[in-house]
Structure formats: C-alpha cells, structure tokens
Amino acid sequence: MALSAIESFKVEDHVVVDTEKNNIQEHSETSKWVLSAPDPPTLWYQIVVSVRNSISHYQQWCSSLRGQHRAKVVLSFLTAIFPILDWGHNYTVTKFRNDLLAGLTIASLCIPQSIGYATLAKLDPEYGLYTSVVPPLIYAIMGTSREIAIGPVAVVSLLLSSMIQKLIDPVADPVGYRKLVFTATLFAGIFQAAFGLLRLGFFVDFLSHAAIVGFMAGAAIIIGLQQLKGLFGINHFTNNTDIISVMKSVWESVHHPWNPLNFVLGCSFFIFILLTRLLGKRNRKLYWLPAISPLISVILATVIVFVTRADKSGVNIVKHIKGGLNPISMNEIEFNSPHVGALAKIGLVVAIVALTESVSVGRSFASMKGYHLDGNKEMVSLGFMNIIGSFTSCYVATGSFSRTVVNFTAGCETLMSNIVMAVTVIISLLCLTKLLYFTPTAILASIILSALPGLIDINEGYKIWKTDKVDFLACIGAFFGVMFVSVEIGLLVAVAISFMKIIFLSIGPGIETLGKLPGTNMFCDVHQYPMAIKIPGVVIVRIKSSMLCFSNANSITERVTKWITEEETEGDKEDTRSIIQLVIIDASNLVSIDTSGIASLEKLHKNLVSSGKQLAIANPRWKVIYKLKTTNFVKRIGGRVFLTVGEAVESKLDC
C-alpha cells in the first residue's frame, strides 16, 4: 500500500539506524560463518535443477547404454519398458504351476465381480468382462508389481457412473453414455501415463491416508446401498448415490408390491459366501474356498433358476450377455463432444483415485516381499493399459484390492497369473456367456456386497483417531461427504480438510519460549523440557512454523511484544533484575521468510529499540539469512546474528 510514500516520512528512523551502525561489535568466528554463507540457489536455478533431474533420469539410462552392442541396447531398452522380458527369461515350470493356480482362482472371483461392477458402472455386463481381458494383459507385460490383479474395481465403477450420468442418461441413451465412458477412460489413461512420464507421482500423495480410509468406507457403504436394487429387485431406482436418496427409493418401492424371491436368493448366497470365508480363515489350507465361492454361487443359482424357471415368478436375471472378444471402440471415442472438458475433469479424478488404490496396494505387497516398486513406472503402465483399454471397449481398470489379496494368498509368483486370468475370461466370453443367461442379478449383488467389508477399516480409523485428531476429521469428512452428498464431494471434502490442515499448521502463529537445559549448551522449549531454565533479562523465542510470512508475521510479532510485557510485569513481583535487555529469535525452524515477514521483524526491532532493548537472530537458515542480508536487516540490528542461541546469550553478557 504505497509504503514508499510513507517511508519518506521516516526520517527520524534512519537516524536511529545510523547511530546503531557504529555499535556493531566484532563478532566471533561462528557469527562470521553465518554472515558469509554463499548465496542460496535462486528460484530459477531450482526450477532448472528440478527439470534437469526429471530428464536426467532418462539421460542416465541412455548413457548407461552407450558403448554397448546395438542389439544389447535394444534389448535393454525393451526390458525397461516391458519387464516381462526380464522375468520371462527365468520363468520355470514350478513358477507356472503356482501362477496357473493363482490365475484360475482370481478368474473365478473376477468373472462374477466384473459383471457386477459393470452394472455398478451402468454398462452392459460384457463390458466388465472386456475390462478383465485387455488391461491385465497389457499390465502383465509392462507392470513391475508381481501380485497386483488388474480389472474393474467397485469404487472406480461407482465414481465413473455417478459423474458421467450427470452428463447423459445411461438408460435413455446407452450408446452415447458408453462413448463418454470410453472417452473418460482414455483421459484417465493419458493422465496416468503423463504423471508417470513427467515424474509427478507426488500428485497421488495429495489424497492423505486418512482421507482414503474415510473415502473407501463411505464408498463401500454407498456401493452396498446400490446393491439393494438388485437384492430387492427394484425397477425404479434413484440415480443419486447418497444414502438419503437411496433409502427413499428403497422405502417407496417397498410400498409397491415386490417379489421376496430375489431377496431370499440373494441373502442365502450372501450367507453362503460369508460362511466359506469364515471357513477359509479358520483353516489356511482352504484359502481357495472363499475365492471360488462366488463362482459356485453363480453356477448354483443359475442352475436353480434354470430348473425352476423362477424368472417367470419375478426373479430378475442377467439375460443376454453379448459373447465374443472385445470389439474395437476407437471410433466411439468422442473429442468433439460438448462434454469433452467435463470428461477430462472426470478422467483426472478417476485417474487419481485409481492410481491411489493400485499404487498403495502394490506398495504394501512389494514391501512385504521386499522389492521396490517404482511409483512413476507403475503409473506409466497403468496409464498405457487404460489408453489401450479405451480402444478395446474397456472402462477404467486398476489394481483390485480384494483380488490382489486372493492372488497373493493363492501363491502367485509373477504377473503370469494375470495372463491366466485374462485367458480364462476370454474363454468364458467365447463359450460361456450363454450359460449366464439365467444368472439372477441378486447373486451378483450379494457377491459385490461380500467384497465390501474389506474396504471398511474401522481399526485404521481408530488408529488415526488416536494419532491425529485433524487427520481423523479429514477421514470422517470424506466418509460423511460420500455418504450424504456424493462421491466427488466426499473426495473434495477430504482433500480440502487435508490442505486446510497444512495451511493452518504452517501459518499458525505459535511461538515458544526457550530455556537452557542444565549442564548443556542447548536451549529448548520450557514446556517440553520442564527442567530448562530461563535466562534472566533475556527472552528467547522460537517460531513454531517453517515460514514467517504474510499470514502469520503480524500475529507472531504482536505475540512476542505481548510476551515481553508479560515477562517484565511478572518479573517485577519477584525481583528487580527482570528488565528484558535482549530478545533472541531462534530462527532455526524458519525455512523461508517473505516481504511481510521481514517488514514485521523490522517493526519489532523498532519497537524494541524504542524501549531500550536489543534484537538478535540465532541460527538463521540459508534463505533466511540471505534475505535478511539483502534487505539490510542484518545491518539495522547491528549485525547481531549468531550461530547458536548460546552465543547470542553470551553477547548480552559482553555488552
């Protein structure tokens, strides 16, 4: 605010500064070290370095190939892109036996889940199966994880349908809806690949762990509620996903005449699946039982309906599933659609959620098996898999949490299990789709329901509550946002709370007084270390933030001034030596300071000088001392900059 105009009035201040200048003492060696530090790298230099680092990753890799035989270079290049060439080299029959078993197990879980998730994504059932064919194959040749099972997942299916159905009605215009889904899938793939190629993996970290726990739990409940449609055989179901709309929808349909057969069928197989899971937990050898129980349920229920022709008595069935391999969908991708901007946004959100699920599952298992998972490489693989998926009638696929656990438990060795799974799904698509005609939809609902408890992690929620209350707030915010508003709002709430926390913590105007620890030369927070002794006549203050900037500078300096007054009035009661002569700011925390921060320090200094006190800075960091030097603040405080608080305290005794 045109402060330079005001500055022209500050004639008297300059006089103060001038008399001070003569007062600069000869400082110790260490103070000289502080003041003669080399200039820190400029912002521009930092940007250049960070770009160079991103590129150098590729350069290093290229230079490591130099001087080698051309065939070897090509091979090494291909191996880096397609790790299958590496592990395929040492592939053995024993490994294949394990992978075959694991692959068949996840296939038996994958087929009914894929059909169910396609319904959740408001697509025809075959699109779920298509998504379990191409993406796993692509990932198998590009991916670096060994356990991840690729395919459609519940949360991404729900997210996709809940966002795209706002643009177009999936019931009225299924073809148009499908086109938008493929376009969004392409965008998601492009974003994922771009994050990986540009080494922007940190984007995925923006969803905090707490937010994900809350989001997943909320999404699981929402997905469960969506299954009520299939379980009750309701025909008119709300398009909204929030709990209130859905319960209203269910309530209304209950008043209409409804067929309890769907419910009975669904529930009995739901109980069957839960029982097999219990058995599997009790007896580790029966691990395959819970994994194949969904398939058994589908077969049994289909046979029951076929034999009794229950579909005529009102049991809803899947009916026609289009057989055959994935049709090409390249011509269905629409860049000229008026919704292309919205689709890009949807693609971005879905890309981040899908990456979060896949990368966090992959990392957990990799650290368990003791190998390193390159996050950026993973993103590229997942991205390419979705790009090619969008050309072959697949919607967004990612690493499935439930199937990855089954894959690991079934003893998979490599990504071959994904290939086995994909081949099994291809065979089903070619030969078995007709057999699924009589599959009751209630069974699919109960299979999805049975996969949900794994997404709700109450233990983790409790752990978050115990460790960090604000984290828990983000968790609960995401949970209720998803439950009561919508999936996107839930995500947004979680991200917003996480960032609000960062802002509040970093701008928090907290300061703490330091005292000397007996027998050492350390100065520490007197509250954390009750044995610390305050130095009479000196106030030592440390800022509890890594920056002194516009948002906290004023409050901090005001608080320091208030403390000094309090210290002096308190001291008055006890003894007379309590007049504060020196105020030391321990700047060891401060990573950066901005123009407002420097301005407030100058104001503080002026106030102190006017009441006969001195200001000293201890242990300033690189950028901070640089800025204090360039703005002449160091000169103005008579060069009282010290390496340690102890030296600053001694300086008071000297004078």
| Near a second copy in 594-653, by CB under 8 A | 594-596, 598-599, 603, 606-607, 610, 621-622, 625, 627, 630-631, 643-644
Taking the least distance from each CB to a second copy, the nearer of 330 and 531 is: 531
DSSP structural state of residue 123: S
Taking the least distance from each CB to a second copy, the nearer of 283 and 521 is: 521
Stretch touching a second copy by CB under 8 A, among 324-332, 481-489, 569-577, 583-591: 583-591
Count of other CB atoms within 10 angstroms of residue 612: 9
- Minimum distance from CB of 462 to a second copy (Å)? 10
d(CA 357, CA 192): 13
d(CA 61, CA 374): 15
| Near a second copy in 123-152, by CB under 8 A | none
Q: Does 79 bind a second copy (CB under 8 A)?
A: no
| Near a second copy in 97-126, by CB under 8 A | none
548 - beta bridge partners?
593
Q: Angle 375-391/174-197 helices, nearest 10 degrees?
A: 150
For tokens 């440390």, the residue is 542
- Minimum distance from CB of 12 to a second copy (Å)? 8
Taking the least distance from each CB to a second copy, the nearer of 358 and 439 is: 358
- Minimum distance from CB of 202 to a second copy (Å)? 5
Please report the DSSP string for 191-233 in residue order.
Answer: HHHHHHHTT-GGGGGGS-HHHHHHHHHHHHHHHHHHHHHHHHT
- Over the window 521 to 550, marking each residue x when it contacts a second copy by CB under 8 A and - when it does not, the resulting string is xx-xx-xxxxx------------xxxx-xx
Per DSSP bridges, beta strands 511-516 and 582-586 are unpaired
Distance separating the N- and C-terminal Cα atoms of the chain: 39
For tokens 């103005």, the residue is 636
**Of the candidates 118, 124, 157, the residue with the CA atom closest to the CA atom of residue 321:** 124
**Amino acid, single-letter form, for residue 410:** A
Q: How many residues sit in the footprint of a second copy (CB under 8 A)?
A: 111
Stretch touching a second copy by CB under 8 A, among 156-164, 390-398, 437-445, 551-559: 551-559
Instruction: Specify whether the CB–CB gap between 512 and 250 falls below 8 A.
Output: no
Instruction: Specify whether the CB–CB gap between 244 and 484 falls below 8 A.
Output: yes
Taking the least distance from each CB to a second copy, the nearer of 49 and 247 is: 49
Could you say which of 467, 566, 569, 572 contacts a second copy (CB under 8 A)?
467
| Near a second copy in 196-215, by CB under 8 A | 201-202, 205-213
Q: Six-digit token pair at 101? A: 């078993």
Taking the least distance from each CB to a second copy, the nearer of 230 and 461 is: 461
Sign for the CA dihedral angle at 316, 320, 325, 330 comes to negative
d(CA 527, CA 480): 37
**Of the candidates 292, 213, 260, 243, the residue with the CA atom closest to the CA atom of residue 450:** 292
Stretch touching a second copy by CB under 8 A, among 169-177, 238-246, 424-432, 448-456: 448-456
Chain centroid to CA 258: how far?
43
Q: Six-digit token pair at 26? A: 């000869």
Stretch touching a second copy by CB under 8 A, among 80-88, 335-343, 439-447, 502-510: 502-510
Taking the least distance from each CB to a second copy, the nearer of 5 and 71 is: 5
- Minimum distance from CB of 337 to a second copy (Å)? 28
Q: What does the buried/exposed string (b/e) look like for 301-315 if buried means 16 or more CB atoms within 10 Å of the residue's CB? A: bbebbeeeebbeeeb
For tokens 């376009």, the residue is 183
Count of other CB atoms within 10 angstroms of residue 371: 11
Could you say which of 267, 470, 489, 579 contacts a second copy (CB under 8 A)?
470
Could you say which of 421, 464, 587, 601 contacts a second copy (CB under 8 A)?
464
Could you say which of 432, 468, 581, 635 contacts a second copy (CB under 8 A)?
468
| Near a second copy in 237-276, by CB under 8 A | none
- Over the window 403 to 442, marking each residue x when it contacts a second copy by CB under 8 A and - when it does not, the resulting string is --x--x----------------------------------
Taking the least distance from each CB to a second copy, the nearer of 3 and 93 is: 3
- Over the window 371 to 400, marking each residue x when it contacts a second copy by CB under 8 A and - when it does not, the resulting string is ----x-------------------------
Instruction: Specify whether the CB–CB gap between 603 and 609 falls below 8 A.
Output: no
d(CA 415, CA 407): 10
The residues, ordered by sequence, that sit 6+ positions from 175 with a Cβ below 8 Å of its Cβ are none
- Over the window 33 to 72, marking each residue x when it contacts a second copy by CB under 8 A and - when it does not, the resulting string is x---xx-x-xxx----------------------------
- Minimum distance from CB of 110 to a second copy (Å)? 19
Taking the least distance from each CB to a second copy, the nearer of 333 and 474 is: 474
Q: Six-digit token pair at 488? A: 């996107």
Taking the least distance from each CB to a second copy, the nearer of 279 and 522 is: 522
- Over the window 154 to 193, marking each residue x when it contacts a second copy by CB under 8 A and - when it does not, the resulting string is ----------------------------------------
Q: Does 455 bind a second copy (CB under 8 A)?
A: yes
d(CA 90, CA 111): 30
Chain centroid to CA 451: how far?
22
- Minimum distance from CB of 567 to a second copy (Å)? 17
Q: Does 401 bind a second copy (CB under 8 A)?
A: yes
